[in-house]
Structure 1
Amino acid sequence: MEAEAYVASVCFKHGPPCLLGVELEWVVHHRDDPGRRLDPDHLAAALGPHAPTTLRADSPWLPLPSGSPVTLEPGGQVEISSLPAPTLAAVVDAVQADHRHLTELLDRAGLVLGRTGLDAHRSPRRVLDTPRYAAMERAFAPIGAHGITMMCASAGLQVCLDVGEAADVPTRWAALNALGPVLIGLFANSPDLAGAPTGWASARMLHVLGVDPRRSRPVPVTDDPAQAWADYVLDAPLLCVRRPDGVWDAPDGVTFADWVDGALEHPPSLDDLDYHMSTLFPPIRPHGYFEVRYLDAQDGDDWIAPAALLVALMDDRALVDAVVDVCAPVADRWLDAARLGLTDPDLALAARRVLDLGIPAAAGLHLPAEQATDRLVALREALDAPEATNGRKS
């Protein structure tokens, strides 16, 4: 099928892994009253010429000084996306500069960036009024709170890594997936939502996974990741259908494969297929590179440590193989990791072993120790504390 071939060729671009990047999201609050609702006009004024056109249609939408464009999630969460770079050190320098600039812009307007992966102060409510987000909210409503919470109250850290050489892709794919539960547990920081504890270490991940398993569950790990992703894409129901006017709601239950087979009044284009893929939210999304999407947003510069760990572990074939082995016992425990974090002994054991692999490798990324390895070492030491071992030895 043409659609399958297109997905495989566009989403899995093979070659030496040379570039990487990050995308950082934050919930935005009023400094003097974090529970107060955001006003879109106030946020647009704060961002000025950097405001995306989803917020202000006539905005010039200029990138931040180091090149990162600003985008917004439906609840007003702010996101900056680094330009691809050959080293994590280069990414860090650019993102830190743009982060400082963004913080200063918001500070002048009395706004601050959140410190966790969920809005700990407000219930979720949509700020952006676009046909896409209106259709998403209606489509997710029958599922319950997961959809609106993911859309409007969550913030994540995304690390983008090259797919790699064709022969290495299945193992790199397996390793990034196997790391998911471990890294969710290591860096979970979203236990509270709207002023109340949820009982989950990463309630953000609970809500992401709970949105709709047909578009948010992990993509199956197989020896042919491109085919697995193509199947996932075609079998996922349409979330919205773009129209020149009116609502974008999609017919209930119609998949992209159904659309190809004639379920709608007009056949889909390749642009429609690209757009459909943007409405899928698995923990790792192939997009010409691998978008690792399972990490909670971190406070300040704390994002550097999990990014460094991921980059270091994926930088060497022997490490990639070792990651698959040490994470295998917990590779499918996504919800357990979100709920329990590293209080689960098996997840804690895998986390020790991952850090033992990653800390020496991260030291070779030429980052200041206080930004990366110091935090990773502190996490490793915490896992050896008596209260963290639950009576088990590594």
Structure 2
Amino acid sequence: MSSTPETPASSAPLQPEDLTGFFRRAERPDRRTHKIGTEHEKFGVFVADGEYRPVEYEAHVLAVMNSFMERFGWQPGGERGNDGALISLVRDGASITLEPGGQFELSGAPLADVHLTCQEFTQHQRELHAVSQELGIAWMASGFHPFATREEIHWMPKPRYAVMRAYLPTVGQRGIDMMLRTCTVQANFDFASEEQAGTRLRLAMGVSALTTALFANSPYKEGEDRGFASLRSDNWTDVDAARCGLLPLAFEAPFSYERYAAWALAVPMFFIRRQGRYIPLHVPFREYMATGYVDPDGVRHTATLGDWELHLSTLFPEIRLKPYLEVRGCDSVQQNILCALPALWKGLLYDDDAGEAAWELVADLDFGERLTLWSECRQAALASPRVRALCQRLLTIAREGLDRADIRDRRGRTEAFFLDPLEALVAAGTSAADVARAKIGPHPGRDVAARRAFVRAFHFAGAGLEEG
């Protein structure tokens, strides 16, 4: 949910060629320059008073961000929130941002290999732990908040969230839950050309259901096991059908930037941004581009490149095309398997042989069968024999791709070793959700003892592990 700052270039009137030129300018023809950027979100819980309550902005989140600046050299990001509130940090090409319910997100810098990515996230975990432990805050990595209700979670002071909060309930039943009670780990990948963007989009969209199963880590809602391995994934099925889910166009050859742009043009907008202010606007982008918009103050607005870029960032398919390919279908997970996410996708997307082999796993499915597989993956995950077998083959293919890349750490290991924890889960037929279930049980409830158990089971950093 990153925003787009206004610059002289982005405020220029939008031309038809800009719709696809946005993607063409992002191409990196030299594949040796293709990098990886990883993003990870987690829920904050204030544990110091023994109540295990979701964090608040003023009392907790702001203190964490200030400590990051004072102790670790982070700087304020370019955008400010309501009344000038600090809502983002930047350092060395990475950023920290706040999701609507205070979910704390590290968006890592674009890096050359997974070894560097994992070093970056290990450093982040250590910094977050050092700061949060002193402040009595614990952070949980789970796809859906395991015990908090909507009403218990505090909104962050970001003006764009007010617009989304008002609009999403008009197009789906669970948009507010998506904003407040979900967390993900995702990764971003480059493409060399339009053809390669299409090939990688098709592959990623095709196997994204399997990666949902591999990283399924959200069986609980409001203290009860709801029968899904990934409630986060299930939640996304009722947010906004126009902008979410699997895209049929990914599987319809030939791919083109024009076809992706045509889909995006038909999706209703959330807003436009002018002088730091978000102005609600809910017509399809195509209509706005054709006729402009006169806001309630009588000011006329015409479409700009910045509007187009902002709109593209408010589309939420399982795989999203921006100036990079963004894989979005996985639950937030703990540090022990976090680095497996960029490793898995790199092995599949950055090795052509691996990509072809992975596509063959799902090539024969029609679109209805793809939706059925996705449902099976979010509900049963690795407990499904079919899903488990497909995931094992997918991991083998990714491992071969990473081994062929032969990028080694100081101990001589290729990036394939990051897949080891996933392979152990698949071998046992047990997802991270099942690991949590074994620790907590099906009906822990929402009292203090249950909340403490949830924090311990999903712990990522900060206070909490010393309890009990």
**TM-score, normalization by structure 1:** 0.87
Q: Counterpart of 2:388?
A: 348
Report if aligned partners of 2:228, 2:378 keep a CA contact under 8 Å in 1: yes
Please report how far the alpha carbon of residue 57 of structure 1 lies from its aligned counterpart in structure 2 after TM superposition: 2.5
Query: Which of 268, 276, 290 lines up with 1:261 in the alignment?
Result: 290
In 1, Cα distance between the equivalents of 2:417 and 2:140?
19
| Structure 1 residue 47 corresponds to structure 2 residue 42 | no
Report if aligned partners of 2:182, 2:232 keep a CA contact under 8 Å in 1: yes
- Identity over the aligned pairs, expressed in percent? 23
Q: Counterpart of 2:234?
A: 206
Instruction: Report the count of equivalent residues.
Output: 381
Query: Which of 68, 75, 78 lines up with 2:104 in the alignment?
Result: 78
Q: Choose 240-249 or 334-343, whichever is displaced more.
A: 240-249
| Structure 1 residue 100 corresponds to structure 2 residue 126 | yes
Closer, same or farther: CA 272–165 of 1 in aligned 2, 3 Å: closer
In 2, Cα distance between the equivalents of 1:293 and 1:133?
20
Matched AA of 1:54: G
Closer, same or farther: CA 165–258 of 1 in aligned 2, 3 Å: closer
Question: Which whole-Å deviations, capped at 9, do the CAs of 1:109-138 have from their partners, x for residues lacking one?
Answer: 111111211111212344213331011011
Q: Counterpart of 1:228?
A: 259
In 1, Cα distance between the equivalents of 2:87 and 2:284?
36
Q: Counterpart of 2:17?
A: 5
Query: Which of 349, 353, 357 lines up with 1:314 in the alignment?
Result: 349
Query: Which of 174, 195, 206 lines up with 2:223 in the alignment?
Result: 195
In 2, Cα distance between the equivalents of 1:248 and 1:113?
33
Question: Which whole-Å deviations, capped at 9, do the CAs of 1:130-183 have from their partners, x for residues lacking one?
Answer: 331011011012345411111111111111111234443322221111110111
In 2, Cα distance between the equivalents of 1:314 and 1:374?
19
In 2, Cα distance between the equivalents of 1:345 and 1:5?
48
Question: Which whole-Å deviations, capped at 9, do the CAs of 1:200-240 have from their partners, x for residues lacking one?
Answer: 21111122232101111223213214223201210100112
For 2:105, what is the secondary structure of its paired residue? strand
Q: Choose 190-199 or 74-83, whichever is displaced more.
A: 190-199
For 2:279, what is the secondary structure of its paired residue? coil
Please report how far the alpha carbon of residue 348 of structure 1 lies from its aligned counterpart in structure 2 after TM superposition: 2.6
> Where does 1:1-394 land on structure 2 (aligned, <5 Å)?
5-12=17-24, 13-14=26-27, 15-17=29-31, 18-32=34-48, 33=50, 35-42=52-59, 43-48=61-66, 49=69, 50=74, 53-54=80-81, 57=84, 59=86, 62-63=89-90, 67-124=93-150, 125-143=153-171, 145-219=173-247, 220-221=249-250, 222=252, 223-242=254-273, 248-251=279-282, 254-262=283-291, 264-265=293-294, 266-328=301-363, 329=365, 331-332=370-371, 333-363=373-403, 364-366=406-408, 372-383=418-429
In 1, Cα distance between the equivalents of 2:172 and 2:196?
40
For 1:69, what is the secondary structure of its paired residue? strand
Closer, same or farther: CA 116–59 of 1 in aligned 2, 3 Å: closer
Report if aligned partners of 1:46, 1:108 keep a CA contact under 8 Å in 2: no
Q: Counterpart of 2:4?
A: none
In 2, Cα distance between the equivalents of 1:133 and 1:19?
30
Matched AA of 1:342: L
Report if aligned partners of 1:201, 1:341 keep a CA contact under 8 Å in 2: yes
Closer, same or farther: CA 126–208 of 1 in aligned 2, 3 Å: farther
Q: Choose 288-297 or 142-151, whichever is displaced more.
A: 142-151
Structure with greater strand share of residues: 2
Please report how far the alpha carbon of residue 331 of structure 1 lies from its aligned counterpart in structure 2 after TM superposition: 4.0
In 1, Cα distance between the equivalents of 2:379 and 2:58?
37
In 2, Cα distance between the equivalents of 1:250 and 1:232?
18
Report if aligned partners of 1:35, 1:121 keep a CA contact under 8 Å in 2: no
Report if aligned partners of 2:195, 2:256 keep a CA contact under 8 Å in 1: no
Question: Which whole-Å deviations, capped at 9, do the CAs of 1:226-267 have from their partners, x for residues lacking one?
Answer: 22320121010011233569873324xx11111112162232
**TM-score, normalization by structure 2:** 0.74
For 2:178, what is the secondary structure of its paired residue? helix
Please report how far the alpha carbon of residue 59 of structure 1 lies from its aligned counterpart in structure 2 after TM superposition: 4.3
Closer, same or farther: CA 169–140 of 1 in aligned 2, 3 Å: closer
In 1, Cα distance between the equivalents of 2:81 and 2:51?
23
In structure 2, the gaps of 5 or more residues are: 1-13, 295-300, 435-468
Please report how far the alpha carbon of residue 3 of structure 1 lies from its aligned counterpart in structure 2 after TM superposition: 5.6
Report if aligned partners of 1:38, 1:127 keep a CA contact under 8 Å in 2: no
Closer, same or farther: CA 249–177 of 1 in aligned 2, 3 Å: same
Closer, same or farther: CA 37–352 of 1 in aligned 2, 3 Å: closer
For 1:242, what is the secondary structure of its paired residue? strand
Report if aligned partners of 2:38, 2:108 keep a CA contact under 8 Å in 1: yes
